[in-house]
Amino acid sequence: MPLRPARCYRAVKGPAYTRREYIRGVPQPKIAKFTMGNTKADLPLVVQLIAREHAQIRHNALEAMRVICSKHLSTNLGENNYLLKIHPYPHHVIRENKMMAFAGADRLQDGMRLSFGDPVGTAARVRAGDIIATIKVPMGKLDVAKEAARRAAAKLPVPCELRIIAGEKSSAG
């Protein structure tokens, strides 16, 4: 299996760590919006980005995916001719036992004693087959949506596939 970016936090290990009322100092997720574009337009072409494996996606990877995808869509289609929806929310809190790596660090830290770790970020847990993002565009703009989804998939630590649904008449959801 080839190595992919963000492999340190990609694997899903142990139960979810989500109870923020008991955790002090959890950083806010970097992802700003989960729905972008025109939510009221009737856009018949739907491209879905689907996870192939069970994995964790960090909040900064979700934000990078959203930015690159929305930038490509708004540049090529305009602000009101697409809908982008990010589905997973980063609930899982990631911990890290920070170790110092400089001369004399052995006198300043305890190694693996009390190594529970401090919160360093959040991640969304996805299973194989889960929809990560949905892109809706007008008829005839399938190539723009596919390219936006390809660029978005490059920012994720999990291999993805595209599902194309043509001619669907539905609401923005």
Contacts of residue 73, defined as CB under 8 A and 6 or more positions apart, other chains included, come to 37, 82, 84, 135, 137, 144, 145, 148
The pLDDT value given to residue 1: 44
The pLDDT value given to residue 110: 75
Q: Model's pTM, two decimal places?
A: 0.84
Per-residue pLDDT of the chain (173 residues; tens, 9 = 90+): 454 555 677 888 888 888 888 888 888 889 989 999 999 999 999 999 999 999 999 999 999 999 999 999 999 999 899 999 999 999 999 988 888 777 766 666 777 887 888 899 999 999 999 999 999 999 999 999 999 999 999 999 999 999 999 874 544 45
The pLDDT value given to residue 64: 95
Residue 142 tokens read as 């399938």
Q: Where are the domains of the chain?
A: 31-93+101-165
Report how far residue 104's alpha carbon sits from residue 169's, in angstroms, rounded to the nearest whole number.
Answer: 65
The pLDDT value given to residue 105: 63
**CATH tag for 31-93+101-165 (out of 1.10.10.10, 3.40.50.2000, 3.40.190.10, 3.90.1170.10):** 3.90.1170.10
Contacts of residue 97, defined as CB under 8 A and 6 or more positions apart, other chains included, come to 112, 115, 116, 117, 118
